[in-house]
Structure 1
Amino acid sequence: MAAAAGQNIAVVVHRAGDLRLETRPVPEPGPNEVLLRMHSVGICGSDVHYWQHGRIGDFVVKDPMVLGHEAAGTVVKVGSGVTHLKPGDRVAIEPGVPREMDEFCKTGRYNLSPTIFFCATPPDDGNLCRYYKHSASYCYKLPDNVTFEEGALIEPLSVGIHACKRAGVTLGSKVFVSGSGPIGLVNVIVAKMMGAAAVVVTDLSASRLQKAKEVGADFTIQVKNETPQEVASKVEGVLGCMPDITVECTGVQACIQAGIYATRSGGTLVLVGLGPEMVTVPIVNAAVREVDIRGIFRYCNTWPVAIALLASKRINIKPLVTHRFPLEKALEAFETTKRGEGVKVMLKCDPTDQSP
């Protein structure tokens, strides 16, 4: 490893509008940790938001922070106590690692642990860099037929798995997915995989709706300036009935309103997209129709499921990657994401291997 020392380039946000490529020392893995040579890291909307605004809600960038949390790489060194991984293993990284065994961990909902470490959420550094160390228990070995990029995409895919589970998608479900960005798209993929009979997607962008069709959406609706009630009736029109389940992936107030109006009485609305803290919604409409409103916070226990689905080729998430940049061109990659081009922008961190 000595040869690599000092060659650890990282993408670091210092404050709103200030994104830099920096050289950092190669970390040393502690007990139960592994050192990884990063390969593929996707750019998430949250990464762009920290760069543009320096904060998301209560999470504020106070010190320089390495971005990136959708990642896969190769083990190059293992700390003491690590038995399930060895140098050379290709792994996908789950970015949220509980720091203590609290009541949430005991009940299997470790994502809700208040002290959880999470890549690229202040003050925790992410993994958009050449070398990164992580808890070995949250690194999952990739089968030979699953690419690094698929491994990196397990992070957004996990949001879809967790949301569709919370929504109760099952055989024959009629599902309305609001928003056709990366998270909307993974929800389409997962809902279809879980047995949804029909999935309708709404978005402002025709190109994003075309991508939704590619990954399995049955119907798409391009919204322009309709009222929430009008959107709801369009959804009912194409499905032939009101959806049992709505997965709201935008966080936009009007879209949440449309989600409530659209969902069948007795159905479920899952809020995935995050917008402002205070939102005006027709809550009484939901209440008297027994529409259950559920939230999600990231995901838990999803990596083994996702790897099994990818290895068995039951789902295909490769079409989500539309742009690739070497790590050295990270600033250009972030600008591309900010402009809303394509779907998923992937950064290639290993100069010796730029393959998917």
Structure 2
Amino acid sequence: MDRGRSDRGNRQRLKALKEKAENMSFTYPGSMRASVLTAPKQIEMREVDVPELEPNQVLVRVEAVGVCGSDTHFYETGKIGDIIVRGDVVLGHESAGTIVAVGRDVPPARVGARVAVEPQTVCRRCEYCKRGEYHLCRQVEFYGAWPIDGSFAEYEVIDDDFAHTIPHHMSFEHAAMAEPVSVAVHAVRKAGVTASSRVLITGAGPIGILIGQVARVFGASEIVVSDPIANRREFALGHGATSVLDPSSADFAAFDQHFDIYIDASGNAGAIIASIPTLRPGGRAVLVGMGGDHLEIPVAMIQHREITLTGTFRYVNTWPTAIELIASGAVSVDALITGRYGLRDVESALMMSKTDPAAIKSMVLPALVTGD
């Protein structure tokens, strides 16, 4: 037998035994600190029970959580669409951390793994799950959407295969950005962006910026981003956009039938209506931003030009791609992170995008918790 191969095998077995022993010595916490939404515009720091592990799940010590616009919407209004907050809930779903314990069906070697968390559990048995469209599962439980608790806490549990291992050089903050990058990847895939695509994006918030970067990676030759806020337009120019528009003064008619693809990341009805005529015959419009429940659209134009109009619902099978794009530097996320907060400051983090025009992405770091 090859001596080197034998030594390597012994080292791997010893490493696995050590990790198993560390897992067995870990004392599963009975409680943890969490920022709990108790009513619209009211969050309390509480000591809550740590969720119990199912056999196929892992316990993740949360290291970083990004603040999403949907978190802010839940905080302000207590609902998004037909999801209504009817009791206490922990918000947050853009998370990354370290696996500290595993269920009985999960290899003990996973303890210590640094992971980006895909924040949903699905039934794995329905027609949608079976054909790889698990995000459409009717039994999906999405983190931070009532009644499912999310990630603004010290720990969370997740199915083992939805805890995606990240490279050693990737920071937890960057790993938490795998969630919004996944939104962008799903949108760009849905839009069919390819080499030489001409793309219009409305909205230069975090998602719009990331969609522009991902569209560039997928081969788009022209990426025009529209946003009414000057500093966001400037930021977009440095992060994927080939040009920008101020919708308050731009003449969208000058782009009639110019773009192959239109992606909305604003949810603004006016932006959507103004942008659809910029699509060429056979173009595609993808709605990502959260807006009103109803929208008037130019049906005759959509029919005559055979424009495809669709929406996106979160993401599916995107995490490996998102992690690779961030890890390789193909998508830049560091400059999007404009503020860091502890669990006691979640309310400030949630409202930062509304109170500071320069804010783009706030990050909650549970380790910053201070006081009793």
Q: Note the C-alpha offset of 1:317.
A: 1.7
Does residue 1:348 correspond to 2:372, yes or no?
A: no
Deviation of 1:85 after TM superposition, in Å, equals 5.5
Q: Who is 2:54 aligned against?
A: 30
Alignment map for 1:108-187 (pairs within 5 Å): 108-187=132-211
Pick from 252, 263, 270: which aligns with 1:231?
252
| 2:114 is the alignment partner of 1:90 | yes
Q: Which amino acid aligns with 1:231?
A: F
When structure 1 is superposed on structure 2, of 87-96 and 19-28 the one drifting more is 19-28
Aligned runs of 1:250-329 on 2, under 5 Å?
A: 250-329=266-345
> Residues 136-159 of structure 1, C-alpha deviation per residue, up to 9 Å, x if partnerless?
111000111221111111111111
Change (3 A) 1:268 1:42: same
Residues 85 and 136, structure 1, Cα contact 8 Å, conserved in 2: no
Please, which runs of 5 or more residues in structure 2 have no aligned partner? Answer: 1-25
Map of 1:76 onto structure 2: 100
Alpha-carbon distance in 2 for matches of 1:253, 1:207: 22
Deviation at 1:49, TM superposition (A): 0.7
3-state SS of paired residue (1:165): helix
SS of 2:107's equivalent? coil
Report the Cα offset of residue 45 of structure 1.
Answer: 0.7
Alignment match of 1:202 (pick from 226, 250, 256): 226
Work out the CA distance in 1 between the residues paired with 2:38 and 2:274: 38
How many Å separate the matches in 2 of 1:202 and 1:67?
Answer: 30
2:280 is paired with a residue of what secondary structure? coil
Deviating more after overlay: 323-332 vs 116-125: 323-332
Amino acid at match of 1:107: R
C-alpha distance in structure 2 between counterparts of 1:310 and 1:74, whole Å: 18
Q: How far did residue 327 of structure 1 move? A: 2.1
Paired residues, number? 343
Q: Which moved more, 1:336-345 or 1:65-74?
A: 336-345
Indicate the SS of the match to 1:265: strand
Report the more deviating stretch, 254-263 or 294-303.
254-263
Contact 1:34/1:134 (CA < 8 Å) preserved in 2?
yes
Distance, in Å, in 2 between the alignment partners of 1:279 and 1:85 is 50
- State the AA in 1 paired with 2:298: P
For 1:167 and 1:277, locate their aligned partners in 2 and report how far apart those are by CA, in whole Å: 22
Name the CA distance, whole Å, in 1 between partners of 2:326 and 2:40. 37
Aligned match of 1:60 in 84, 87, 105?
84
How many percent of aligned residue pairs carry the same amino acid?
A: 36
Asked if structure 1 preserves the Cα contact closer than 8 Å seen for 2:202 and 2:263, the reply is yes
Q: TM-score, normalised by structure 1?
A: 0.92
Question: Matches of 2:137 and 2:49 in 1, distance apart?
Answer: 30
Change (3 A) 1:219 1:225: closer
Give 3-state SS (helix, strand or coil) of 1:266's partner. Answer: strand
Runs of 4+ in 1 over 3 A off after TM superposition: 1-6
Shift of 1:328: 2.4
Kept in 1, the 8 Å contact 2:210–2:331? The answer is: no
For residues 115-167 of structure 1, give each alpha carbon's deviation from its aligned partner in whole angstroms, at most 9, with x where no partner exists: 10100111111111111111111100011122111111111111110111011
CA contact (8 A) 1:43 1:337 kept: no
Give the whole-Å Cα distance in 1 for the aligned partners of 2:347 and 2:292. Answer: 27
Residue 5 of structure 1 deviates from its aligned partner by: 4.4
User: For residues 163 and 253 of structure 2, what CA distance do their matches in structure 1 show?
Assistant: 41
Once the two structures are superposed, residues 270-317 of structure 1 have per-residue CA deviations (whole angstroms, 9 ceiling, x without a partner) of: 111121111111121111111111211111000011122223332222
Following the alignment from structure 1 to structure 2, what is the Cα–Cα distance between the partners of residues 45 and 339? 13
- Secondary structure in structure 1 of the residue aligned to 2:61: strand
Give the distance between the partners of 2:108 and 2:315, measured in 1 at CA: 23
Deviation of 1:25 after TM superposition, in Å, equals: 2.3
Q: Residues 231-258 of structure 1: CA distance to partner in whole angstroms, max 9, x if unpaired?
A: 242x46xxxx711101011121111112
Query: RMSD between aligned alpha carbons?
Result: 1.8
Which of 33, 44, 50 matches 1:20?
A: 44
What is the alpha-carbon distance in structure 2 between the residues aligned to residue 127 and residue 350 of structure 1?
A: 13
Deviation at 1:340, TM superposition (A): 5.1
Q: Shift in Å at residue 84 of structure 1?
A: 7.9
Letter in 2 for 1:276: G
- Paired letter, 1:314: A
Paired residue secondary structure (2:186): helix
Q: Secondary structure at the match of 1:129?
A: coil
SS in 1 for 2:176: helix
Q: Deviations over 1:219-239 (max 9, x none)?
A: 00112166xxx3242x46xxx
Q: 2:199 and 2:356 mapped to 1: Cα distance?
A: 25
Aligned counterparts of 1:232 and 1:50: Cα–Cα separation in 2 = 36
